[in-house]
Structures are given as C-alpha cells and as structure tokens.
A and B are shown apart, each in its own frame.
Chain A
C-alpha cells in the first residue's frame, strides 16, 4: 500500500513564526503536491514538484515556499505565518505515467492554526 505521511496532524503557531510542514511518501513517486483545504473552496494547489529540486507554482503560492531535496520528501514552508493561513494542509504524491494522470495518494492532513 502507498503510504503518505505528514509530520503533524495538528499544529498551532503564532503570527510571524516560520512553519515547516513535512511530507514523506514511500512509493518512489516522482510527483508530489501541496494543497490547502478550506470549507466551501475545496482543495487548492499551492505548489507541486515533478522531480527532486524541481518545483512549480500552483494556484495560490503567495506566502509559501517548498523544498524537495530528496525524492521521498516534500516540505512546505510558511516564511512568516499569518492568520489567513489557518487551514488544513494536504500532501499528495503520484507516479509519472506520461500522457495520462496517475492516481494521487493523499496524506492524513495537517490542521494548522495561526494565532
């Protein structure tokens, strides 16, 4: 079974803090994704990566950065957390299949609260 794990289920931080969210997958997937999930808005893509050290902006990258130094690990960084970044953050991974999309496998999510 594919396993995608996230470092924390719940996290509480203060405004202005630097926040790291870690995601690890164990299926040698090339693609990794970070989403945020908000009620009434569904999932919105923050950043994604097709390979080590590669990253692409998603739909809402402002205020976030990412790092992918190893194939299995994809980190989301909030350089200076703000209250409007309070949300559920989901990580996902998938393999590269050429022209058609492979299934995305999701982690359990991190519920981040910024006070």
Chain B
C-alpha cells in the first residue's frame, strides 16, 4: 500500500525567512507523481507544485521549490522569502497510474508571523 507521511503537524516562520516542510512516502512503484497543495484559511485548496518521479531535476515555482530524494522517498517543500499570504495548511500528495487517485498526507499547518 502507498502511504504519505507529514511528520510536522504545525510550523511557524517569520516573514521573509525560509521554511522547509517535510514529506515522506512509501511505495514500490517506479513511476509516480508527487504534489504539494495549499489550503489557505477558509479558501479553496490549490496546487503549489508537482514533481514527476522520472525527472531528476527538482521542480521550482517562483518562491516554492522541492527537494526530491527518490532513494530516500522524501519530498520536502521549501518556501523562500515567506509572506503572510503563505499562511495555510499544506498537503503532500502521491499519485501512481495503477491507483488512479491522489493519496494525501496528514497536512502541515504553517503560520507566517510578521
């Protein structure tokens, strides 16, 4: 069975600093996809970034980047120059074709403090 684990239920960071959210997963699949989704307070969940397992290069989207360590089955999210609008619940998610569905981690609640 595929599992996704986010071991940090809550984190906080000062505005303008950098923070890293951790995610590990367990799978025997070789071809899969990983995602980070963001759920701001009382707002809709949106995709932050995605990574294809066959790509060695880490994905980057503006201030958001990932550290994908396939052998270690680790997929962390780094947020640079944190902004107040980054305050949200962040979910790591895993997808493989035979499963046909996203498997989510428990979530990490990030607070950015002024």
Q: Give me the interface of A with B, judged by CB distance under 8 Å.
A: 4, 33, 35, 40-45, 48, 56, 58, 90, 92, 99-101, 103-104, 106-109
Q: Is the CB of B102 within 8 A of A106?
A: no
Q: How far is A108 from B46 in the complex, measured between Cα atoms in Å? A: 10
Q: Is the CB of A42 within 8 A of B45?
A: no
Closest residue of chain B to A109, judged by CB?
B44
Q: How far is A4 from B46 in the complex, measured between Cα atoms in Å? A: 12
The number of residue pairs between A and B whose CB atoms lie closer than 8 Å in the complex comes to 42
**What bracket does the count of chain B residues touching chain A fall in?**
20 to 34
Which residues of chain B have C-beta atoms less than 8 A from A106's C-beta? 44-46
Residues 1-38 of chain B, each 1 if its beta carbon lies under 8 Å from chain A, else 0: 00010100100000000000000000000000100000
Known: A99-B97, A100-B33, A101-B33. A42 touches B105 (CB 8 A): yes
Partner of A101 from the list B6, B45, B95 (CB cut-off 8 Å) is B95
